[in-house]
Structure 1
Amino acid sequence: MSNTETIRVYSDYVCPFCYLGRRSLERYRQRRADPLAVDWHPFDLRARKRGPDGEIDHAVDDGKDEDYYEQARANVRRLQERYDVEMTLGIATDIDSLPAQVASHYVKEEHRDAWEDFDEAVFDAIWQDGADIGDADLLAGLAGDVGLDGAAIRTAVADDRRRERVSELFEAARRQGITGVPTFVYGDHAARGAVPPEQLERLVEGT
């Protein structure tokens, strides 16, 4: 297992392009002859608009107007068709993903073999079901669905030290030059956006 190749992925669950990018990555992984591990790193798209209680303050100017969101919706629809992905939501502007990212970090650190199943469950919950992944009870239920202890997820989400650790990872991503998601990194090369499987193949295999 130690010789398995690994692709590093920066993403935020509230990013529809991260969901589409993961679907593209899965297509690439499925057609590879050799396994490809995923090393997930969290990224925070809500940092500037998150209030102290996790509410999203739309009064904060983040440079994204309605024209931006309309173009984003159009791009999501285009990629849905390209990758044949059904999505209930197109854009999620009112959901705070910090609790989900804290939960996912806990699972990655403590139950590594279950992380991909949990990651997929969180993505599906928001983009397939339109669920609020900022809700600890929802996250606990998702954990139970993949064989994990829901109570441990609630504890992790409420743990200030774990939240601080995830915040440190947000800052580390920015220091490393990650400015948007999804970003896929392999070796010294990177691809940003919900790129097609063929581009991920070129990134990893150089073909």
Structure 2
Amino acid sequence: MKTTIAIVDDHDLVAQAFSGLIQRYEEYEVIYEVSNGKELINRINLKMVPDIVLLDIVMPEMDGYETALWLKKNHPEVKVVVLSMHNEEESVIKMLRNGACAYLLKGCKPRELKQAFDEIVRKGRYYNEFVTEKLVKSLNPETPPNPQYTLGLLDLEVEFIKWSCSDLTYSEIAEKMFVSPRTIDGYRESVFQKMKVKSRVLMAMKAIWLKLVKYDGGDYCS
């Protein structure tokens, strides 16, 4: 008995092209093509329930996100294979959370589409290298390094840098920080060395560029 497939894509030529491709697979049969999620639901309500839905994301009336979620809640036995031009991590993760068991790009090779169907029939899902990379990235998001720790700056040195972004003199900064001018001189020498700068102006510019401090236009950097 053949595995039945429904294609949901608002681009008729794309839907017909994939339908023609799938019809060449002996184990699979396209039972209908519709242009959005609402049309798919109408067919399913008429007892035309496919084994697999080949689903686009961007469609009128009811998009792929909503359609996948509806299938997950009402027909979890139907396997959803996303076929989209969108390669953003957000799209992949959202579709997988909404119940998709595979995510393919429309530029994929025909053999990968067949492989995805075969894996889904055998194992219930198909995660290619593209999807795996997105999943790993979502679990381990890249966080920008903290410039304070990268440069080895002490908390008091960071506070000194923030005050140095203002128009206060070093003596006035010493008063603000409740330390002696000599201590401020020590902070300055240490910070200049760690940041590899030779002037207060360059120090302030580099601190703002590194987002170590944020200049708000007042007399103090936050």
Q: Could you tell me the TM-score, scaled by structure 2's length?
A: 0.26
Relative contact order, CA 8 A, sep 6+: which one is greater? 1
Q: Could you tell me the TM-score, scaled by structure 1's length?
A: 0.27
Instruction: Determine which structure has more spread, i.e. the larger CA radius of gyration.
Output: 2
